[in-house]
Structure 1
Amino acid sequence: MKKINFKYNWLPVLFIGLVACDVNNDLDPIKDNTPEVPVVAVTEGTADFSKYISLGASFTAGFTDGALFKEAQKNSFPNILASKFSMAKGGDFNQPLMKDNIGGMVSGANVALQPRFYFNGSGPTRLTVKPTTKVGFPADNAPAFNNYGIPGAKSFHFLAPNYGSAAGLATVPATANPYFVRMMPTQSTLLAEAASKLPTFFTLSEVGGNDVLDYAVAGGASGAITPKATFDAAFGAIINTLTAQGAKGVVANLPYITTLPHFTTVPHNPVPMTATVAAASNQGFALYNAGIKQAFAFLVANTPMTQAMADAEIAKRTINFSEGKNAVVIVDKNLTNLTAINSGLKNYRQATSEDLLVLPSSTFIGTTVGGNPLLVNGVSVPLEDKWVLTKTEVDAIKTATDGYNTTIKAMADSKGLAFVDFNVILKTASTSGLQFDEYTLNTSLIFGGLVSLDGIHLTARGYALMANKMLEAIDGKYSSNFMKATKGLAKAADYPTNYSPALLN
């Protein structure tokens, strides 16, 4: 075996090590060949966003889940717009923030306006926490506000004197609005207060919505639809005042509110029955059905009513149950009044798919009167008018909305303003759905993503979509570039569809 001499073997090793210190062993970085997307700055076009004012009702305020609260106000579509306008020389945008994320208001020790809804896993539920916002007390920074979205305001309220006067809250009925009162206005009317801020740009949205909404949510049993002439005069005054100093803006029309889940969630036929129960229920209405036929036979014999007319109403008013799902029994004030012939013949009939049951009826149908199992609301005890919009009432709401929208579009066009057809947008949402980034929004309650838990107002994500639709209209009218600019539009994922019940402060 050969003997190896290790005496100097370390020298080459050291030499190699020293040389290695001078060698760059790092690999060249792999180049990313993806082309850089250029940053596109926002340009305002011919619009001036330096003093932006929003005017409207609850949608403009950011009302959601049945209440107004801080986080919802921050996610209101005007606040979203203001954040985009700030990239195009827009100024500050101040809102009359509520004191908490509970929603509602207290008057003394009493809850005057209810807290917000949250989703409890099965349906909308009101928070049981007491609000901290006090009726009649000013909002922080009053009266330096830009958002004049006043929940509950009807078209003529924008011109009503002292609508923001605390004294008007104590009258019966109240002549002031608690949301406007806390803004501590310095002018006599809501319109004058907004105009006093000398806007260079404005949004005008959902004016006229409450003119039909109060009537609708009451099932047509109370309230009244504002006459078109009254609406026209009010809307004309609003548009003329806002544009008098050269301000530009965007106007949105009204959706058919009856396509909202407050009116479409509860089916007309939610009553399940076995064959035995159906037969027993039919027996209970046997005398009523027979009396209807006798009364119309009398009318045919003694009035100009024809047999065909009588047969049509007899068929409508005959109450009949069968095994399976059954239509509820309702009171319909538009039926022929038969009490002069037979005092026991009330205006009863079963609902059809053309009738709309309001959302709160879901917790009332099927309950009993005084615990008596024979007196079941919606079956043996017909639903009062307040629980249902009949087809006649739905048609009246549609006619009024169409009339208002004709005025809104004509006046917006006459002033050269941008316009958003919110009616068409909601129609699409209620049928095929609306694509918003990676989400498809529709008008289903709770899981549709567009409409909040009260079934009427939008979610934060819905308001973000609304803001984008307005930005699109602004681009089209004033040659701005929000649609193409980097971060020029709101992103769906940045806005929630519901708020945690733990969100209180």
Structure 2
Amino acid sequence: MKKITRDIKYICLLAATITLSACSSDDDASSNVEQPKPALVTGEANFSKYIAVGASFSAGFTDNALFIAAQNNSFPNMLSQKFALAGGGSFTQPLMADNVGGLLFNGMPLFDTDGNRQFGPRLFFNGTGPTPLNAMSTTEATNVLSGPFNNYGIPGLKSFHLGVAGYGFANPYFGRMASNPMATVLGDAVNESPTFFTLSEIGGNDVLGYATSGGTGVDQTGNFDPSTYGGNDITDPIVFDTSFRAAIGALIGTNNAKGVVTNVPYITSLAHFTTVPYNPLDPSNPDFASQIPTLNNVYGAINQIFIALGEEDRVIVFSTEQANAVVLKDESLTDLSAQITGALLASPTFPAFIAQFGLPPAAAPIVAGLLGQTYGQARQATANDLFVLPSSSIIGEVNEDYAAFLASQGLSPAVAGQFAVEGVTLPLADKWALIPSEQAAIKTATDAYNATIETVAADNGLALVDFKGILDEAATTGYASGNYIYNTALVQGGLISLDGIHLTARGYAIVANEMMKAIDATYGSNFEASGNLIDAGTLPTNYPPTLR
């Protein structure tokens, strides 16, 4: 069966596609004369030993991978270059071996424990959309690097992972840089005796794995999701609170180190969750339009049962005039499988109904059972539902496994295929969508994490960056930086990388700038006034496939 959704197009990311901010002119020529800027001062901060601790963002993870160019454009590395102007020392990162991304284990591509998420390679923009680089990593996970290091940004790190002994066995990104097999991330970072630290995006991975798996706790998207170490359940806010407070206490340590922390954004505002529309089924597509009468006939029989049971909100109808919502399985709904099956079998018209599909009356019990099982928790999506980015590749496609199952129950291959179209006749599984209750669970946890972060920052006199506010602004009105206005749209927004979650190099520069502003406000430095903020517009938004 041909794809029956409208195409989800991507726009090539060029400077021209990012909205230019307005420039004003002034008739007073003297206003165009650049005034001398003051010399850089550090205030109360001591940058002589800067240590970064965090997760994927701190590492520089972008385009679904970690690679040298991205690490060089990580916000900690950018900050270290500015700190070097104010007495900061050297800054060493655990660099990957190439610009492909991904890892090898004893010479073979490394896969996660479920066998379907390869660690890389990175994505690139092929003119139509994000696609994996056709290359293999040369970074061997078993080759442990010699430290010491300054950047302890570990993709996949959750709050409670910070103090887990032997975490390198579970997470190869830390394993290749750990000081010893039983080392902890926090222990290795603290052993470097920081005078200044950043503790960033702690809490993001504590909800991200749950979100990218559609709230199921199992990621089956085929893409590497570094947040899944330790399972996908949302971290209990009490566990987060304990872990975060311990991390801050250890990093401040006997040096009374100063530092910057960030709060946690609402990750559901990221492109990974906002790109795929809830209503992608296009009646102007002839492949879909020709099926609408049959679909409404099939669902009409189910809809009568929904109405009789007082479940009018579950009625499924396809329009010939406007974009149609996909059909999904909502596990928060009461399961009406038995009622549907019973009502269909009790209907005297049901044998005639299935006859239109070439099925004999004797098949009625099997078909009624299959329809009940399939649509017992089905409904059409609404604008309040979110869909993970990989769902765009399966909506409107025949689920071959389910079609094979239906064929094994006696349906002809043609009929089995008709009843196995993802999001049309086969409700999308929970892993592809975040329903409102799942979104609410993410928000509740995020708000609790942020309450802890803000309290701990205030109690310890730390600088705080409102990362949540930055992304909220980018997702609504756009975030202005230099000559550009950035938003969270996939590919053309400039802020979010091709995986829909992590930042571009420009996005990481914006984070570095916000950190320097917070340092200025808290510790009396003057990075902004002295002209030392980064021009994010000079950095790339993605990397060419030729970069290896």
TM range, normalised to the smaller chain? 0.7 to 0.9
Question: Which residue pairs with 1:122 in the alignment?
Answer: 128
1:147 maps onto 2:151 in alignment: yes
| Partners of 1:480 and 1:43 in 2: CA distance | 5
> Matched residues in 1 for 2:268 and 2:394: separation?
20
**Among candidates 347, 356, 380, match of residue 386 of structure 2:** 356
Range that drifts further, 43-52 or 316-325: 316-325
Residues 240-274 of structure 1 deviation map (CA, whole Å, 9 limit, x = unaligned)? 11112200001100000000000000000001126
**Structure 1 position 317, deviation (Å):** 1.1
Rg: which structure is higher?
A: 1
Q: Which amino acid aligns with 1:393?
A: E
Q: Secondary structure at the match of 2:323?
A: strand
- How many aligned residue pairs are there? 443
Aligned match of 1:5: none
Give 1:281's aligned amino acid.
L
Q: In the alignment, does 2:214 pair up with 1:219?
A: yes
Q: 1:321 aligns with which of 307, 314, 318?
A: 318
The secondary structure found in structure 1 opposite 2:282 is strand
Q: Structure 1: state its 5+ residue gaps.
A: 1-31, 169-175, 297-309
Assess if the C-alpha contact under 8 Å between 2:107 and 2:140 holds in 1. no
**Following superposition of structure 1 onto structure 2, how do residues 228-243 of structure 1 map, counting pairs within 5 Å?**
228-243=237-252
User: Does 2:190 align with 1:190?
Assistant: no
- Contact 2:49 2:195 (8 Å CA) reproduced: yes
Deviation at 1:460, TM superposition (A): 0.1
- CA displacement 1:146-193 (0-9 Å, x = unmatched): 0000000111000111112xxx3xxxxxxx210000103246311111
Contact conserved, 2:106 with 2:142, CA < 8 A, in 1? no
Partner of 1:171: none
SS of alignment partner, residue 398 of structure 1: helix
Q: Distance in 1 between matches of 2:33 and 2:393?
A: 58
Alignment check: 8 A CA contact 1:93 1:145 kept: yes
Aligned Cα RMSD in Å?
1.7
Moved more, 272-281 or 49-58: 272-281
Work out whether 1:446 is the aligned partner of 2:446: no
Distance 1:382 1:462 in 2: 36
Q: Secondary structure at the match of 2:162?
A: helix
Aligned to 2:144: 138
CA distance in 1, matches of 2:313, 2:505: 43
Contact 1:284–1:380 at 8 Å: present in 2 too? no
- Once the two structures are overlaid, the 10-residue window that deviates more, 109-118 or 211-220, is 109-118
Residue type at the aligned position of 1:408: I
Choose which of 80, 83, 90 in structure 2 pairs with 1:82. Answer: 80
CA shift at 1:340, angstroms?
Answer: 4.7
From the superposition, tell whether residues 34 and 240 of structure 1 become closer, same or farther in structure 2 (CA, over 3 Å): closer
1:378 aligned residue: 423
Secondary structure of the structure 1 residue equivalent to 2:272? helix
Query: One-letter code of the match for 1:244?
Result: G
Q: Alpha-carbon deviation of 1:292?
A: 2.5
Q: CA deviation at 1:401?
A: 0.3
- Give the SS at the match of 1:325: coil
Instruction: Report how far residue 291 of structure 1 moved.
Output: 2.6
Residue 39 of structure 1: CA displacement? 5.0
Does the 8 A contact of 1:40 with 1:484 survive in 2? yes
Q: Residue 205 of structure 2 aligns with which residue? A: 210
Amino acid paired to 1:249: G
The residue that corresponds to 1:157 in the other structure is: 161
Deviation at 1:106, TM superposition (A): 1.4
**Quick check: 2:157–2:205 contact (8 Å CA) kept in 1?**
yes
- Tell me the distance in 1 between the aligned counterparts of 2:316 and 2:106: 49
- 1:293 Cα offset (Å): 3.3
**Residue 108 (structure 1) shift:** 3.1
2:305 counterpart of 1:291: yes
Match of 1:426 in 2: 471
- Give the secondary structure class of the aligned counterpart of 1:101: coil
In structure 2, give the amino acid aligned to 1:97: L
Deviation at 1:40, TM superposition (A): 3.2
Deviations 1:53-80 (Å, cap 9, x if unpaired)? 0000000000000000000000000000
- Residue of structure 2 in register with 1:199 after alignment: 194
Following superposition, which runs of at least 4 residues in structure 1 exceed 6 angstroms of deviation? none
Aligned to 2:541: 497
CA contact (8 A) 2:166 2:184 kept: yes
Q: Deviations over 1:203-230 (max 9, x none)?
A: 0111011110000000011121111111
SS in 1 for 2:464: strand
What secondary structure sits across from 2:216 in the alignment?
coil
Q: Match for residue 40 of structure 1?
A: 38
Tell me the equivalent position of 2:175. Answer: 181
| C-alpha contact (below 8 Å) 1:61/1:150 kept by paired residues | yes
Residue 282 (structure 1) shift: 1.1
Letter of the 2:317 counterpart: N
What displacement does 1:380 show? 0.5
Q: Structure 1: how far apart are the matches of 2:34 and 2:393?
A: 56
Contact 2:178 2:185 (8 Å CA) reproduced: no
Tell me the distance in 1 between the aligned counterparts of 2:38 and 2:277: 49
TM-superposition CA deviations, 1:450-490 (whole Å, max 9, x none): 0000000000000001100000000000000000113x111
- Report how far residue 376 of structure 1 moved: 1.4
Residue 399 (structure 1) aligns with: 444
Q: Indicate the SS of the match to 1:94.
A: coil
Give the aligned residue type for 1:319. I
Distance 1:481 1:322, change over 3 A: same
Match of 2:116 in 1: none
Say yes or no: does 1:278 pair with 2:292: yes
Contact 1:443 1:450 in 2 (8 A): yes
CA distance in 2 between counterparts of 1:336 and 1:179 reads 43
Q: Distance in 1 between matches of 2:537 and 2:336?
A: 57
Matching residue of 2:16: none
Question: Which residue identity lines up with residue 36 of structure 2 in the other structure?
Answer: P
Secondary structure, in 3 states, of the residue corresponding to 1:380? Answer: coil
1:290 Cα deviation after fit: 2.3
Distance in 2 (alpha carbons) for counterparts of 1:254 and 1:389: 19
8 A contact 2:207–2:234 mirrored in 1: yes
Give, in angstroms, the shift of residue 338 of structure 1.
2.3
The 8 Å contact of residues 45 and 525 in structure 2, kept in 1 or not, is answered as yes
Alpha carbons 1:279, 1:322 under 8 Å: kept? no
- Tell me the distance in 1 between the aligned counterparts of 2:277 and 2:32: 53
| Aligned mates of 2:178, 2:247 — CA distance in 1 | 20
In the TM superposition, what whole-angstrom CA distance separates every residue of 1:286-342 from its partner, at most 9, and x where no partner exists? 232223234x2xxxxxxxxxxxxx4xxx12211111113100000110001223544
* AA matched with 1:447: Q
Aligned mates of 2:324, 2:152 — CA distance in 1: 46
> Per-residue deviation at 1:143?
2.0
Tell me the residue number matched to 2:331: 333
Amino acid at match of 2:278: H
The residue matched to 2:94 in structure 1 has which SS?
coil
CA distance in 2 between counterparts of 1:464 and 1:471 reads 11
**Aligned equivalents of 1:229 and 1:369: distance in 2?**
41
- CA contact under 8 A between 1:54 and 1:149: conserved in structure 2? yes
Q: Which residue of structure 1 lines up, in the alignment, with residue 23 of structure 2? A: none
2:238 maps to a residue whose letter is: A
Q: Output the amino acid matched with 2:433.
A: V
